[in-house]
Amino acid sequence: MRLVLMGPPGAGKGTQAIGLAARLAIPHISTGDIFRANVTEGTPLGIEAKRYMDAGEYVPDGVTNAMVRDRLAQDDCKPGFLLDGYPRTLEQVGELDSMLSAGGVAIDRAVELTVDVDEVVTRLVKRAQEQGRADDTEDVIRRRLEVYAEQTAPLTALYAERNLLVQVDGMGAVEDVTARLLEVLGA
């Protein structure tokens, strides 16, 4: 199964993606995690990405697309994968389409986790306190939500037109959301 998981910052995407990928036995590919690992290691990619991440902006498409292309070319992605946090722009959708069509495959489902915005802000502030993420200050949180609304929310309409979109209520206990996800995916 080739899946895309979408949802605003703080929707619980990362947590759900880990559980879902394990359950479906496919790799979990989080562009945010890959960027953070590069930031920690101080690689050139990490140094470039950090400037954008700290400001709540998206890392440029060229950088992000090249990184995903390399990751999807690895053998473990052959049976399927769960993309968490990618694609996030229309250009990324186009790039993903061409990466996959080159191998004769396509996305099977795009899952959107829906949440209440006030709840999202509460979750992000809590996460900032627990994990000390530099991109979780209140101003940056607001900017990340704006960027999501402007650049990423429109992607759901595109996947809906392709009849690939499923929306899942992301509110409530983690295990309840997981159960909803597994149900809509028929897993």
Segment near ligand AMP (CB under 6 A); pick from 29-37, 98-106, 122-130, 158-166: 29-37
69 is catalytic: no
Taking CB under 6 A as the rule, does residue 159 contact ligand AMP? no
Q: Which of 2, 36, 50, 88 is an active site residue?
A: 88
Structure tokens at 172: 């409530």
Which 54-73 residues touch ligand AMP, going by CB under 6 A? 58-59, 64
- Binding residue (CB under 6 A) for ligand AMP from 7, 8, 9, 170: 9
Taking CB under 6 A as the rule, does residue 85 contact ligand AMP? yes
Enter the DSSP assignment of 75.
G
User: Can you give the C-alpha Rg of the chain in angstroms?
Assistant: 16
3-class state of residue 137 by DSSP: coil
Amino acid at 1: M
Beta strands in 18-102 (DSSP E): 28-30, 81-84
Identify which of residues 62 and 172 has a Cβ nearer to ligand AMP in the complex: 62
Cβ atoms of residues 114 and 168 within 8 Å? yes
In this structure, the number of other CB atoms found within 10 A of the CB of residue 162 comes to: 11
Cβ atoms of residues 37 and 50 within 8 Å? no
Q: What are phi and psi of 110, to 5 degrees?
A: -115, 120
Q: Which of 2, 13, 50, 123 is an active site residue?
A: 13
Identify which of residues 44 and 186 has a Cβ nearer to ligand AMP in the complex: 44
162 is catalytic: no
Q: How far is the CB of 179 from ligand AMP (least distance, A)?
A: 23
Which 93-132 residues touch ligand AMP, going by CB under 6 A? none
Distances (CA, A) of 4 to 43, 94, 134, 159, 181: 27, 14, 26, 10, 12
Segment near ligand AMP (CB under 6 A); pick from 37-45, 51-59, 73-81, 93-101: 51-59
How many of the chain's residues bind ligand AMP (CB under 6 A)?
Answer: 15
Residues in touch with ligand AMP (CB under 6 A) = 9, 31-32, 35, 52-53, 58-59, 64, 85-86, 88, 92, 135, 144
Catalytic residue numbers read 13, 88, 127, 133, 144
